């Protein structure tokens, strides 16, 4: 045996550790009970041995001396950073007693369950939420629920299923599978895929396609690796994607570039769509988007006249005004060109064997919890009464309304927060002051995490230590393949999110103790359609793809022709009309516009000209760092050295006009406040925009209040508003469109402008 390690184990990465949404095959090397090396699994079809910097640094992450290793109870005032060690039984007993009392006095909806992104969290947190009896599972702080949800719901409403760019990921043999065809073009719309590796999609897949001949069309305000290699690069004004999509639809219809056969046979509402897009001419759209007319025309023609082609889109689509509508418009592009459910287009994305772990839609929610679940949670779910679309398309509570309700108690009081995989004050919370006030207003806050951060220090009453992916038992059923996450080591008293939540769920729903004596019993029930159990799937290597023989509904392509999409087995799509709904009957039913339309950002040169004169730059946040995942990894030495400072990226002409130099510290400010950032000159930025990466806090500084790891000094979400959501209740968070200005910091200025009196209250 190699003396450098005792053994090695293959597993699946799904945060925490690399932080991302995972799927990669990983080899972990163990010596003396510790992970000493991490590598990609070259036999795994997702990543073929590739490993990102975050994954390679997991030895530092997992073995970090600052890990929270056992349950903690606050003993000082909130914000003082004083905690004492307690046992797991003591922690569970405290939580059970407090929540039981709150349920008796205020009802179970008085506890709100808050998640961030990353980790296999949607399954365990919704399981705990609904077992306790609450209706309020949310991503608090994420204004407008502006992360993937608008796109997911739009895909369900328009075509009945999710779809992704086809890079052969639904086949074990990948590019060598004879059923696959290479996209002639991939449109990368609002994302830098390699830096982030987004939901159930690996950015390097696009590079693999490029190597085989695929050409690129890139739509992004900020130049990237991909834009530098694109045949067509459209540098768009942030938040105007809807206008561009409507113009592209108009061009495709006007120039007869659409797929007549597919539209006539499988699409509903084409004439209405044709009428609604006709006003979006090249000249009008160019003025709105900052993109030259010729560039729009040539990019649209390239996509529409070269079949098959695919669209890969990103988070900024969820954060534009009326994100639901914009998503509908982009979906219509791949539908009317016949690029849906065909090789090399946008492939319908079904989970392997239709197995659900994380309920992404109400259909999946009902699959786990039964038909009555939606009616039950909608009686008290935040936002369900106001937004009928939200009430029926997915099971989240509306986050902008939730934070206000936590403060004012209307229409009923919320008294306790369970926070899991979410560093709100370091990461996702728009209008940080408002969210701080809301969480400090809670009687009892429980946070599950691996490290102390601004949120644990500011408001936690109980902190529970979570396990990394290398320490936990779980499974992954997000598209394909079906995979196991297998434990390899144990770090002190850390437990997986599933272990923690299942134990608490059993305390409030005792029947679960009989039904699921162990977590493996739950897994075996969920993956039963595959024909595997945990043990048999492990024996087969830990992952499997469905086949045409075992489960044709999970296998591309042209399932709409085979009758494999609809529950009744008839040809067509899983929509009310059985067709692609370019005119959304579900949208009409739930009180939103059934056809796509464009709205200006809430702050812009057009909509708020006086504010624009005061703050003439558009602040684009959320740029992905290849070494961080949102607010994670600032404390990992190998990663922090690669990206050490909270930056603002600025065009050199703007720097010259403002008298600032590369490396200067400046205020990024607007009427909501100001934050410190270090200037990075970036000539690829549009002069009208600045890029302000999100997720920043400084773990090397004081954690207790009022410093809270400097989050209030440098986190750009001090400047970001809430309550900009779309008419659906989903989307529209102004993370990409907030106006700001830059000003050089003078030597005598207060370096902590956002500290406020009474921060302990």
Tell me which residue has tokens 């499997």. 544
Q: How far apart are CA 207 and CA 224, in angstroms?
A: 13
- Distances in Å between the Cα of 428 and the Cα atoms of 130, 169, 398, 432 are 24, 30, 15, 9
- What is the arrangement of strands in the sheet containing 111-115, beginning at the earlier edge strand? 83-85, 72-74, 462-465, 444-449, 416-420, 111-115, 137-138
pLDDT for the residue 2: 53
Q: At a CB cut-off of 8 Å and minimum separation 6, what does 125 contact?
A: 113, 115, 137, 418, 420, 497, 501
Closest Cα partner for 454 from 424, 484, 421?
A: 424
User: Mean pLDDT of all residues in the chain?
Assistant: 95
For residue 199, cis peptide bond before it (omega within 30 degrees of 0): no
For 487, how many CA atoms within 13 A lie in the half-sphere containing its CB?
Answer: 17
- For 10, other C-beta atoms within 10 Å of its C-beta total 18
Using alpha carbons, list the distances in angstroms from residue 647 to 291, 469, 540, 687: 27, 30, 47, 17
pLDDT at 1: 41
> Which domains are delineated in the chain?
7-62 (3.30.200.210), 72-138+359-476+482-544 (3.40.50.740), 149-351+572-589 (3.40.228.10), 609-720+731-744 (2.40.40.20)
Q: Which residues contact 610 (CB under 8 A, 6 or more apart)?
A: none
Task: Point out the residues of the chain with pLDDT beneath 70.
Answer: 1-3, 118, 756-761
pLDDT at 4: 87
DSSP code at position 41: -
The pTM assigned to this predicted structure is: 0.97
CA 389 to chain centroid = 20
Residue carrying the six token digits 């608490």: 504
Residues sharing a CB contact under 8 Å with residue 149, sequence separation 6 or more, in sequence order: 318, 394, 396, 730, 731
- Could you tell me the end-to-end alpha-carbon distance of the chain, in angstroms, rounded to an integer? 59
- Per-residue pLDDT at 758: 45
Backbone angles phi, psi at 196, to 5 degrees: -110, -25
DSSP 126-179: HHHHHHHT---EE-TTSGGG-SSHHHHHHHHHHHSS-EEE-SSTTSTTGGG-TT
Dihedral Cα 697, 24, 156, 214, nearest 10 deg: 100
């Amino acid at each position: 045996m190699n003396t450098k390690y005792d053994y090695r184990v293959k597993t699946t990465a799904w945060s925490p550790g690399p932080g991302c949404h995972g799927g990669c095959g990983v080899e972990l090397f163990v010596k003396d009970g510790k992970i000493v090396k991490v590598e990609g699994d070259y036999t795994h079809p997702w990543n073929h041995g590739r490993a990102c910097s975050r994954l390679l640094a997991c030895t530092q992450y997992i073995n970090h001396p600052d890990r929270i290793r056992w349950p903690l109870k606050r003993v000082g005032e909130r914000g003082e950073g004083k905690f004492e060690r307690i046992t797991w039984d003591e922690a569970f007993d405290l939580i059970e007693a407090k929540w039981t009392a709150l349920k008796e006095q205020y009802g179970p909806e008085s506890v709100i369950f808050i998640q961030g992104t990353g980790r296999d969290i949607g399954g365990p947190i919704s399981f705990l939420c609904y077992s306790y009896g609450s209706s309020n599972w949310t991503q608090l702080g994420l204004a407008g629920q502006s992360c993937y949800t608008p796109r997911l719901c739009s895909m369900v409403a328009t075509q009945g299923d999710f779809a992704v760019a086809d890079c052969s990921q639904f086949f074990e043999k990948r590019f060598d599978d004879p059923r696959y065809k290479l996209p002639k073009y991939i449109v990368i719309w609002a994302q830098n895929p390699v830096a982030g590796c987004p939901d159930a999609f690996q950015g390097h897949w696009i590079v693999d396609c490029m190597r085989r001949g695929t050409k690129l069309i890139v739509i992004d305000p900020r130049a990237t690796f991909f834009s530098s290699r694109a045949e067509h690069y459209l540098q768009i004004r942030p938040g105007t994607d809807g206008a561009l999509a409507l113009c592209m639809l108009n061009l495709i219809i006007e120039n007869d570039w659409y797929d007549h056969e597919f539209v006539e046979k499988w699409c509903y509402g084409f004439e209405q769509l044709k009428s609604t897009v006709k006003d979006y001419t090249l000249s009008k759209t160019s003025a709105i988007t900052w993109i030259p007319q010729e560039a729009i025309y040539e990019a649209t023609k390239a996509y529409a006249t070269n079949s098959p082609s695919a669209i890969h889109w990103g988070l900024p689509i969820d954060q534009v005004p009326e994100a639901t509508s914009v998503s509908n418009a982009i979906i219509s592009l791949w539908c009317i060109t016949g690029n849906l459910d065909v090789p090399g287009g946008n492939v319908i994305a079904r989970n392997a064997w239709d197995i659900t772990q994380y309920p992404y839609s109400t259909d999946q929610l009902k699959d786990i919890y039964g038909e009555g679940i939606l009616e039950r949670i909608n009686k008290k779910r935040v936002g369900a009464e106001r937004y009928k679309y939200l009430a029926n398309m997915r099971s989240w509570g509306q986050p902008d309304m939730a934070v206000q309700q936590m403060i004012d108690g209307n229409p009923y009081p919320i008294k306790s927060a369970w926070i899991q995989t979410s560093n709100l004050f370091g990461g996702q919370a728009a209008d940080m002051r408002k969210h701080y006030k809301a969480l400090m207003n809670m009687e009892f806050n429980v946070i599950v995490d691996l490290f102390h951060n601004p949120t644990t220090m500011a408001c936690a009453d109980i902190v529970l230590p979570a396990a990394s992916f290398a320490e936990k038992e779980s499974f992954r059923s997000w598209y394909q393949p079906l995979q196991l996450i297998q434990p390899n080591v144990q770090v002190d008293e850390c437990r997986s999110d599933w272990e923690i939540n299942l134990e608490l769920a059993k305390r409030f729903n005792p029947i679960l103790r009989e039904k699921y004596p162990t977590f493996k019993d739950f897994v075996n029930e969920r993956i039963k359609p595959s024909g595997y159990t945990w043990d048999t799937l492990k024996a087969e290597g830990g992952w499997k793809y469905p086949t045409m023989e075992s489960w044709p509904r999970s296998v591309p392509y042209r399932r709409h022709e085979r009758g494999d999409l609809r529950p009744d087995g008839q040809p067509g799509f899983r929509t009310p009309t059985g067709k692609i709904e370019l005119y959304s009957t579900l949208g009409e039913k739930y009180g939103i516009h059934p056809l796509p339309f464009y709205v200006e950002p809430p702050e812009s040169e057009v909509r708020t000209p006086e504010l624009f004169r005061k703050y003439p730059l558009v602040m684009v946040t959320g740029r992905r760092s290849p070494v961080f995942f949102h607010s994670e990894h600032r404390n990992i030495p190998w990663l922090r050295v690669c990206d050490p400072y909270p930056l603002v990226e600025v065009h050199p002409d703007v720097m010259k006009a403002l008298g600032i130099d590369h490396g200067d510290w400046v205020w990024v400010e607007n009427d909501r406040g100001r934050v410190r950032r270090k200037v990075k000159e970036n000539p690829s930025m549009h002069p009208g925009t600045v890029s302000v990466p999100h997720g920043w806090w400084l773990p090397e500084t004081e954690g207790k209040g009022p410093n809270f790891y400097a989050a209030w000094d440098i986190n750009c979400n001090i400047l970001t508003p809430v309550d900009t959501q779309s008419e659906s209740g989903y989307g529209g968070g102004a993370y990409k469109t907030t106006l700001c200005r830059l000003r050089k910091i003078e030597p005598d200025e207060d370096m902590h402008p956002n500290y406020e009196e009474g921060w302990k209250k």
